[in-house]
Each structure stands twice: as structure tokens, then as C-alpha cells.
Structure 1
């Protein structure tokens, strides 16, 4: 290759017609479910029905290998699904006794003669898990009874997805042509064929190498983006370990299996995990920089295997950050587990994960407990005060790397390193006194933590997960205030989502007065078991000044609920 990218626009049918395409042997298997397949079929059908001049399917990224056969870096799902559509069109043409048309589809888009073996071989070669099933089952002729819901599913999940896609496609196409007269059905299928060949277009980008293909995803923003990035990283690492490929594959499977337990349909969490581990050992790394950085640092087989082993060793610790019930936390104290749940379930923030990961990998049990409590306080303070742009990502990543190379070994040292960036008590109190909250989840958590602070609870910021149906979050000034409030729309909007206007109410009869007046609601507030709510009843009226006065009191308590000092 010249090192440059080649671009070509064509129908996806013409891409299949050109000749052999391969899915790298160890790339992700077929993954489209019913939703994606049906969406493609419906989009094509609408475009064909409307006689649209073009339907853009996105970008296909290829990497030309030394043997001259293009390898699919991105676009496998669309290409494979299109080939199944063509195979089932061939079957329907056969059923309609249009043999020449069926044979033309077979020879032009599905198989070709291998001049060496004189055998018919698929124009699309799938990966290790899918290739045999695709060639020997999916490309074979099938009738409408191909998929019986009661049959035993295929043992390999991606094979089952291929078969379900095939069944859905043949049923969809049969429904499309069923209303037509028999003599019109074959012609309408032929109309589909011509559209797929010429007007269901893709932009084909041929990249000089895998890393070059990876960089393309930063600008293409196409379907399959994250999964393709994971595939390219995997293939690069495998290419560096040709003599220990089985070991590399085994380590990669361990990594992906653990990450998939979190739910990772598009591969995004896998890429994020690799980047977060890379941050711990190499410092701040943006996603667009990851491939180039990996290529520079991992230059031989030994480094590739060491990196894969380290990732495999650390992946269960990373997965544990989403649940305190993970076995990893069995040796940690309840305070640490409570912090894990608070960050995962109440705050649901991502920026701090590289730092959490580094602490979980490197700190002792005692120091991890202190650090994780700090993480809860820092996270709330940044949510209320503001993240200060890209500073937060950078500083969390820098601290993660300093922990990774053991420059920081204690929570106190970590707190000192972050002290100039984390909002101080006065800054946090001032910000909290005027803060608005749009997400009910966060509002509930803030008020429950402050409630705990008022009650003198040891860990006020560690709010247990509760049944949200048992506690209502109420806007004292309702979202749709009646005439009794005497507020203009602008006046109501200015105060409705201020923390001072939000209250917790135990669910049950008379727990919510809805859009009633303040006088109607006041008695229920005064009787509430929540102190942050009962304090509302001390106000004679409820207006902007009352809301701000209550919020100022809550802000003073917030400083204690999310402290910077170790308790």
C-alpha cells in the first residue's frame, strides 16, 4: 500500500460482486439481532417503494492484505446481512421457478469458482466461529420453514443470530411480494436486486493498515464504530504474537467474556476498559490516541502477550467497580462497598473510573476505603460545582498513572494531589445554594444524604438503594402550578428545579398534593418523617426567597454530607 486512503462510492451489491472479502479470523462474530435486521429491511423496502435515487448504508472500511484479498475492518454486519438478503432472494426466485435469475444471484453475489480447486467458494469469508456455518447453512437453499421457533438453537450464539436473521429476511421478503400477482413477484424481487446492486450505496475506504483504519473511525462516526475499534486493537495485538496466537486468543477471550458480563453489545466498554488500563500504565490517553499509542509501545510478541496478560489479570477488578456484590470486594469493608454502589447506582459517573480502577489495583484495603469515600465526595462536588471542562478527565488520568507507577500510595497523598482541583467547602456550599437538579435520581440521592447528615448518620453520603415507589420526589412549586400559586410561567420555571424546591415524601395516602396550593400541602410536609421536608412547614409562604433560604440551609449540611476530611 502507498500509505494513503482510497475512497470509492458504490452499491453494496457491487462490492460483493467484486470478489472475495474476508472477515479477519479472530474478529467479532456476527452480532446483529432482530431489531437491526428489521430496520435494514424496512429502510430498503421504503426506499424501493418510493423509488428513491439512493439509500446510504454508511461506510465500509477495508484493509488490503499481502495476499491481495481485502479484509473487512468495519462493515461486517451490513455486508453479511446484505449477502443473506441476496441468498434468500435467490431462494424465492427458485420457488417462483425463475431458475436463471436465481442462478445469476448465486454466481454474481454469493459464490465464485476457485480456479485452483475448481470449487464454488463464498465471496464473503466469515470469521472462525461463523465461516463454516455461513458457507454450509446460510448460503444453502432454504424454504420458508427454515426457522422453527421450537427447534434446538445453534450452540454458537453468532450462528444462531445468522439463522434468525436469515429466517426474518425470507419471511419479510415473502410478505413484501405476497400481495402481488404471481407473474409480478419475480420482477419485484429483481427490483430489490437492482436497488441493492446500484443504489444501496456505501463509501468504501481502503486503509493502509489496521491502525490507519482505526483512526478513520474518529471522523466517520459510523454504525459499528466501537466494536470495530475493539476488533482492530485485537487484530493488531494478535499480529504481534504469531507464535503464541492460541495464548493471545485465550487471554482476549477472558477479557471480552468478563466485560460482556456488564452488557456490551457494541464493544464500547471493551475499548473503554483497554483505554482505562492503558491510562493506569501510561498516563492520560484519549480514545483517538489509543491505537497509535499501542502500536508504538507494543512492538514485539513479548510485549503483546504481557499486555494481554495484564489486561486479563485486571479485568475482574474493573468489572467489580459496577457492583459491590462482586467477589473481588469480599476482602473489603462495608464502607468501600457502599461507596462502590453509590457511584455505580446513584451517581452513575464515568470520568472517575480510571482512578477508581487504579486504586482498586494498587491500594491496600485500608487506603482503598478512604479513597473510595473521597471519590463519592469529589463526584458530588464536581456534579454540583461543575467539572471545569476537560480538566477533570486529565487530572483523574494523571492521578491514576501516578498510582499505577506507585508515586501515590495512600489516600492522603491522593487527596493532596487533587486538592487544588476539587471544590473547597466554601466553593461547594456556594454552588449548592443555587444548584438546580433535573434528574430525579440525583435529587433523591442528594436529599437522602442530607437527611442522613441531619440525623448524624456515620456515613451520610452512603444512601442505600431503595424502592423508588416507596418515596416520592415532589416539587413544592409544581411543574404545572395552578392559579393559586400566582406565578407566571417564567417565575415558576426559575424555581421549580432548584434543590430548595424539592422534597421527599413517603408514598401512601395523602403523600402528594399534586398541583395544590402551598397551604394545602403545608400540613403534609409538617407531618413528614423526613426532616428536610418537615422544615418546609416552618415557612409562612413559599416563594423564591423561601426556596433560596431553605436551599442555603441544605447547602450548609451538604458540606458535612460530602466531606473532604477522613472520618
Structure 2
């Protein structure tokens, strides 16, 4: 992205935090209206300088700003992976204005909100952008002071438990890095790991995303029609994690051969697949329903 684009994006998000939702086309006008007096120019420049440093930190989990905020560092890492763009003014507002103890909790809440919106495919809905902008402004003006305040503010447009679980049961994932994040988080939740939503060091060279029903069946999956294959191969219920050396031998193998590898997997959720006698559309739907229940504890709101 060009430097000019980065500058406009930062200005838009910073102004949104101060004034409410600002469209890119209105950035110049808003700045002009805020700087009609010489003192106002100096004041805004000082504010933007502080915000710019914070803004940079929100895009870098290793930034020194987070050295004393390990929880926030973890959340920033995940938020940059999921990257729900309308949420950026809110992330900036939390990092810039909230007390440290609240920053940790509220960034964690943002992770759950972001994942729920991604799964529900609502990241680009108009009320979402406006909702995040309003929340950011209320944090900036100190109307929102605690995580409970923020949760109430966001609850009007973040999917509820019921909606999130319902959408999760049919969710498809095309982005392999995002799919690995979902599965590793669910795997951690299944093992009762603390903070299952945070997965460090996601190395695709060590951990592969495996499609049980493969994209190319090569005649080994007659139980699926062509239409069913297209519909189901990207479903979360059809995905699992494997070590790279295990995954490299499977490719389009038949299910009976894949089961032998899954059975010895170090991953609980992958190992469970081997207990299924035959891999069918019903098996995928059943597994995805089970994962949807686990998702509620992985990304609580």
C-alpha cells in the first residue's frame, strides 16, 4: 500500500475515533473543519502524533508498547490475522484511551467479536462499521470505561451465541491460514487449554491443513457426487490438522487409508475422525455441529 494510502487510512480511523464514522472521501473536509484556528492545528497535530504511534503498535504484536501487556500482545497477533477492517478504529481507541487492565480484557473481547463476524460473514455489513465507529468514539469520550460497557455497546451487532453456533454449523473456510487458526484454537479448547483463542507460531511447514474429503477425489470418493464435493470440501467439519510429514502421503487417498493416519495423530480432534466408520455428508455435518459447540467456549462474548 502506498504511503499516501496509509496516511489516509490512519487519519480516517483516528478521526472516526474522535468524531464518529468518517468516510475516506470526507477526511480532508473533517480535518479542515477541525483546524480553522491556529491553536486547533497544533492541538490536532499533537493528538495525531500520539495516535500514530499507537496505531503502528496495533499492527505489530512485537511492538514495545505491548512488552508489559502479554495478554494484549496475544490478542493483537490474532486480530491482525483475522483483520476485520471496520474494527480498526475500535482497536485504536482501546489501545490509546483505556487503562492497561481494561485493554487486556477488551482486546480479548475484540478477538471473539472478530471471529464471530468472520464466521457469520458480516464483516462488511453497514451497521457493523457504524457500530464499531460509535464504540470507538464512546471510548474516546470516556462514555465506555469497562469491558462490560463495551460488551453492551457491541451486542447489538455481534452474533449472539445462538447465531454464532448456527452459522458455524455450515461455515466454509477458503483461507488456509485462517482455517488453521480456527482448528488449532478449537483443538486447544478441546484439551482445556487456557486462552484457546491464542495460537502462537502457526508454521505451515510443520502443520498442514488437511481436507478429509479432498478437492480432487481421483475416483476414491464415490460416496460424494460432484455437487456434494463442491459443497462440502471447504466445510470446517471436513477440515483437520496434520503434521506435514503425515499430510504429504495422503493427498487424494480413500477414507479407509486416511483413517489409519488420523488414528495416530497427536491432535485430539483429528484422532476423533478415525472413529467415524464412513465419511459422508452426514458425518461432516455431525462433526461440524460438535465443533460449533466447542466454538462457543473458544470465542466467548
TM-score bracket for this pair, using the shorter chain length? over 0.9
Whether the 8 Å contact between 2:246 and 2:261 is mirrored in structure 1 is no
Q: CA deviation at 1:509?
A: 5.0
More divergent stretch after superposition (317-326 vs 445-454): 317-326
Identify the residue that residue 273 of structure 1 maps to in structure 2: 10
2:265 alignment partner, SS class: coil
- The answer on 1:517 being equivalent to 2:251 is no
* Between structures 1 and 2, the one with greater strand share: 1
Counterparts of residues 64-213 of structure 1 (less than 5 Å): none
Whether the 8 Å contact between 1:323 and 1:341 is mirrored in structure 2 is yes
Deviations 1:180-215 (A, max 9, x none): xxxxxxxxxxxxxxxxxxxxxxxxxxxxxxxxxxxx
Identify the residue that residue 548 of structure 1 maps to in structure 2: 285
More divergent stretch after superposition (457-466 vs 503-512): 503-512
Whether the 8 Å contact between 2:221 and 2:254 is mirrored in structure 1 is yes
Q: CA deviation at 1:265?
A: 3.0
Q: Distance in 2 between matches of 1:406 and 1:303?
A: 21
Q: Distance in 2 between matches of 1:551 and 1:529?
A: 20
Q: Which has the higher contact order (CA 8 A, sep 6+)?
A: 2
Whether the 8 Å contact between 1:453 and 1:557 is mirrored in structure 2 is yes
Q: CA deviation at 1:540?
A: 0.8
Q: Distance in 2 between matches of 1:513 and 1:355?
A: 44
2:85 alignment partner, SS class: coil
Structure 2 counterpart of 1:403, from 130, 139, 146: 139
Whether the 8 Å contact between 1:316 and 1:328 is mirrored in structure 2 is no
1:469 alignment partner, SS class: coil
Counterparts of residues 492-503 of structure 1 (less than 5 Å): 492-503=229-240
Identify the residue that residue 194 of structure 1 maps to in structure 2: none
TM-score of the superposition, structure 1-length normalised? 0.52
Q: CA deviation at 1:506?
A: 0.9
Q: CA deviation at 1:368?
A: 0.6
Whether the 8 Å contact between 1:474 and 1:512 is mirrored in structure 2 is no
Query: Relative to structure 1, is the Cα distance of residues 512 and 448 closer, same or farther in structure 2, using a 3 angstrom cutoff?
Result: farther
Q: CA deviation at 1:511?
A: 5.3
Whether the 8 Å contact between 1:359 and 1:403 is mirrored in structure 2 is yes
Whether the 8 Å contact between 1:505 and 1:512 is mirrored in structure 2 is no
The structure 1 segments of at least 4 consecutive aligned residues displaced by more than 3 Å after TM superposition are: 509-512
2:245 alignment partner, SS class: coil
Q: Distance in 1 between matches of 2:141 and 2:236?
A: 41
Q: CA deviation at 1:301?
A: 1.5
Q: CA deviation at 1:330?
A: 2.2
- The answer on 1:480 being equivalent to 2:216 is yes
Q: CA deviation at 1:315?
A: 1.1
Identify the residue that residue 377 of structure 1 maps to in structure 2: 112
Whether the 8 Å contact between 1:482 and 1:517 is mirrored in structure 2 is no
Identify the residue that residue 413 of structure 1 maps to in structure 2: 149
Q: Distance in 1 between matches of 2:32 and 2:2?
A: 26
- The answer on 1:365 being equivalent to 2:64 is no
Q: Distance in 1 between matches of 2:116 and 2:203?
A: 26
Q: CA deviation at 1:526?
A: 1.2
Deviations 1:62-92 (A, max 9, x none): xxxxxxxxxxxxxxxxxxxxxxxxxxxxxxx
Whether the 8 Å contact between 2:78 and 2:111 is mirrored in structure 1 is yes
Q: CA deviation at 1:294?
A: 1.9
Deviations 1:31-60 (A, max 9, x none): xxxxxxxxxxxxxxxxxxxxxxxxxxxxxx
Q: CA deviation at 1:510?
A: 6.3
Structure 1 counterpart of 2:37, from 288, 293, 300: 300
Q: CA RMSD in A?
A: 1.3
2:195 alignment partner, SS class: coil
Q: CA deviation at 1:409?
A: 1.0
Whether the 8 Å contact between 2:61 and 2:73 is mirrored in structure 1 is yes
TM-score of the superposition, structure 2-length normalised? 0.96
Q: Distance in 2 between matches of 1:320 and 1:366?
A: 17
1:394 alignment partner, SS class: helix
Deviations 1:129-174 (A, max 9, x none): xxxxxxxxxxxxxxxxxxxxxxxxxxxxxxxxxxxxxxxxxxxxxx
Identify the residue that residue 429 of structure 1 maps to in structure 2: 165
Deviations 1:214-263 (A, max 9, x none): xxxxxxxxxxxxxxxxxxxxxxxxxxxxxxxxxxxxxxxxxxxxxxxxxx
Q: Distance in 2 between matches of 1:269 and 1:498?
A: 35
1:351 alignment partner, SS class: helix
Q: CA deviation at 1:297?
A: 2.5
Identify the residue that residue 66 of structure 2 maps to in structure 1: 329
Identify the residue that residue 176 of structure 2 maps to in structure 1: 440
Q: Distance in 2 between matches of 1:266 and 1:510?
A: 41
Whether the 8 Å contact between 2:93 and 2:136 is mirrored in structure 1 is yes
Structure 1 counterpart of 2:203, from 467, 480, 483: 467
Whether the 8 Å contact between 2:220 and 2:252 is mirrored in structure 1 is no
1:464 alignment partner, SS class: coil
Identify the residue that residue 299 of structure 2 maps to in structure 1: 562
Whether the 8 Å contact between 2:117 and 2:158 is mirrored in structure 1 is yes
2:192 alignment partner, SS class: coil
